[in-house]
């Protein structure tokens, strides 16, 4: 079989890495890919937003299955376009992807379907939003409505923080059209967890649990990022809590979408806050989380292609999905300045030394080859180092020992992944 994976980050590298282990995969392409993906797949110079060129490539190369990594092509309707042409593709339709592409849609949907989430209000006027936050008090959460690469959420502890967030979104328009509407919601206090499932619109198959660390700095301080590290399983999610998440959130979401005419086939990711042992939805994503994928897929025993094909054909109930009992932990190595401005093109040393290590997988996120054939930085989050261990302590020790072998100018990473839950 010939497979196309769309995207260029650590999530896509981990998907390609897992698919490459399948006995029935003959060839994997990745568009546009990165330096790490290029070692196990053929990278194609087509951007993930160029839907027409992607479809042309799939037709020309007779691709059997396409997997969409990032949210943007899903929000643009790539699944609708491919399905219209009779092409197998993994991901929700444009209507289903709204659950991530519009926070307002998602919150209104949750309200309609009685899915637990924080109280909220929607604004298109800076003045009205500013008046509301002054009355509500702090802490408070301000979100841009549309896609903002994981950076459109501001947890504000003071009036000054909140007005600055509103100014950036609504006046400076740092997220462009994504900030035309702003969501202001109560700040839930509790433990944050990620919960992901495979679904074909009928059957739901939970993945192993994971814990993401979104803040840039140790002790969960600093600005929000796309994720600075993660580990699996998440000890906060007990069997009782998992049952509650499935019954109160995941099942009603798939059922609610179906009721509204949306058959959701793909990955559903729920970002949750656990408050007094009860789950509340902070956000939904319509695809694999990054870096969660980098700890989830290394624990998967079942052939990932079998799962994807069953999802595409709505036969997920026929696949027995098995997971390893090991613990996995991932630490992200980021560029200096991320999540703000950062330099690109900085050479990375030590990658070859990592390849000989047992139970260490290196997933490339923001990398490329320069004109001299060196692997250099090409993004804010540059690499993800994932370790497998019998427990969290062992996985942590393996990852942080391996990190000492890697170097690039300005390299930044958190030193407490796996220490705080």
Domain ranges of the chain: 2-91, 125-180, 189-318, 327-403
Among 355, 361, 337, 346, smallest CA distance to 407 is for 346
State the architecture of 2-91 in CATH terms. 3-Layer(aba) Sandwich (3.40)
* Average pLDDT, rounded, for the chain: 96
> CB burial class (10 A; 0-12, 13-18, 19+) of residue 400?
middle
pLDDT of residue 224: 82
Identify whether the C-beta of residue 361 lies closer than 8 Å to the C-beta of residue 36. no
pLDDT of residue 333: 98
The pair of structure tokens assigned to 26 is: 């003959």
Query: What whole-number percentage of the chain has pLDDT above 90?
Result: 94
Among 246, 205, 184, 221, smallest CA distance to 420 is for 221
User: What does the pLDDT look like over 170-207, one tens digit per residue?
Assistant: 999 999 999 999 999 999 999 988 899 999 999 999 99
CATH superfamily placement of domain 189-318: ATP-grasp fold, B domain (3.30.470.20)
Pairing of β 27-32 and β 42-43: parallel
pLDDT of residue 421: 62
Identify whether the C-beta of residue 209 lies closer than 8 Å to the C-beta of residue 195. yes
User: Does the pLDDT at position 167 exceed 90?
Assistant: yes
Model confidence at 76, pLDDT cuts 50, 70, 90, reads very high
Global pTM value: 0.94
Look at residue 39 and give its three-state secondary structure. Answer: helix
Pairing of β 27-32 and β 2-7: parallel
Q: Which fold has domain 327-403?
A: 3.90.600
d(CA 239, CA 243): 6
The pair of structure tokens assigned to 343 is: 């330099």
User: What does the pLDDT look like over 277-320, one tens digit per residue?
Assistant: 999 999 999 999 999 999 999 999 999 999 999 999 999 999 99
User: Does the pLDDT at position 149 exceed 80?
Assistant: no
pLDDT of residue 226: 87
Beta bridge partners of 376: 347, 368
Render the burial of 198-215: b for 16+ CB within 10 Å, e for the rest: bbbbebbbbbbbbbbbbb
The pair of structure tokens assigned to 184 is: 């202001």
Q: What share of the chain is helix, strand, coil (3-state, %, to 5)?
A: 35, 30, 40
Model confidence at 55, pLDDT cuts 50, 70, 90, reads very high
Identify whether the C-beta of residue 312 lies closer than 8 Å to the C-beta of residue 300. no
- Any residues with CB less than 8 A from the CB of 384 and at least 6 apart, and which? 10, 14, 291, 294, 330, 331, 332, 333, 362, 363, 364, 365
d(CA 9, CA 367): 9
Model confidence at 219, pLDDT cuts 50, 70, 90, reads very high
Identify whether the C-beta of residue 268 lies closer than 8 Å to the C-beta of residue 254. yes
State the architecture of 125-180 in CATH terms. 2-Layer Sandwich (3.30)
Q: Which residue has the tokens 């990620």?
A: 194
User: Does the pLDDT at position 329 exceed 90?
Assistant: yes
Among 205, 184, 211, 197, smallest CA distance to 316 is for 205
The pair of structure tokens assigned to 361 is: 């997988």
Q: How far is CA 303 from the centre of its chain?
A: 21
The 10 Å Cβ neighbour count of residue 187 is 16
Pairing of β 215-217 and β 221-224: antiparallel
Model confidence at 255, pLDDT cuts 50, 70, 90, reads very high
DSSP class per residue in 134-179:
HHH-SSEEEEESS--TT--EEEESSHHHHHHHHIIIIIS-TTGGGG
- Rounded to 5 degrees, φ, ψ at 364 are -85, 140
d(CA 36, CA 43): 10
User: Does the pLDDT at position 151 exceed 80?
Assistant: no
Identify whether the C-beta of residue 389 lies closer than 8 Å to the C-beta of residue 360. no
How many residues comprise the chain? 421
């Amino acid at each position: 079989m010939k497979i196309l994976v769309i995207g260029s980050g650590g999530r896509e590298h981990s998907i390609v890495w897992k698919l490459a282990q399948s006995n029935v995969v003959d060839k994997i392409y990745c568009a546009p890919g990165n330096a790490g993906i290029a070692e196990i797949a053929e990278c194609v110079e087509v951007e993930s937003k160029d839907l027409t060129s992607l479809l042309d490539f799939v037709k020309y190369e007779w691709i059997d299955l396409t997997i969409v990594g990032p949210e943007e092509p899903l929000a643009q309707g790539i699944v609708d376009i491919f399905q219209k042409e009779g092409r197998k593709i993994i991901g929700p339709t444009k209507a289903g992807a709204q659950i991530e592409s519009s926070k307002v849609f998602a919150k209104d949907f949750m309200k309609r379907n009685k899915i637990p989430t924080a109280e909220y209000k929607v604004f298109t006027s800076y003045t009205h939003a500013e008046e509301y936050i002054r009355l509500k008090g702090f802490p408070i959460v301000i979100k841009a409505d549309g896609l903002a690469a994981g950076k459109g959420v501001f947890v504000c502890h003071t009036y000054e923080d909140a007005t600055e967030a509103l100014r950036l979104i609504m006046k400076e328009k740092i997220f462009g059209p994504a900030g035309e509407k702003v969501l202001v919601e109560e700040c839930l206090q509790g433990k944050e967890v990620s919960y992901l499932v495979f679904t074909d619109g009928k059957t739901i198959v939970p993945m192993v649990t994971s814990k993401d660390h979104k803040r840039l700095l140790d002790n969960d301080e600093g600005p929000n990022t796309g994720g600075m590290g993660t580990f699996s399983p998440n000890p906060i999610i007990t069997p009782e809590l998992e049952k509650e998440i499935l019954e109160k959130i995941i099942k009603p979401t798939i059922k609610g979408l179906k009721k509204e005419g949306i058959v959701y086939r793909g990955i559903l990711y729920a970002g949750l806050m656990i408050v007094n042992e009860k789950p509340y939805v902070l956000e939904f994503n319509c695809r694999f989380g990054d870096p969660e994928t980098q700890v989830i897929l290394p624990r998967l025993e079942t052939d990932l292609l079998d799962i994807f094909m069953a999802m595409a054909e709505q036969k997920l109930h026929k696949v027995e999905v098995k997971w390893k009992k090991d613990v996995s932990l991932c630490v992200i190595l980021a560029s200096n300045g991320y999540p703000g401005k950062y330099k690109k093109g900085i050479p990375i040393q030590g990658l070859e030394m990592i390849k000989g290590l047992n139970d260490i997988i290196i997933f490339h996120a923001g990398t490329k080859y320069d004109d001299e054939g060196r692997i250099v930085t090409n993004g804010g989050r540059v690499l993800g180092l994932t370790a497998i261990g019998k427990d969290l302590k062992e996985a942590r020790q393996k990852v942080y020992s391996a990190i000492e072998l890697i170097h690039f100018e300005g390299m930044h990473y958190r030193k407490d992944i796996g220490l705080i839950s």
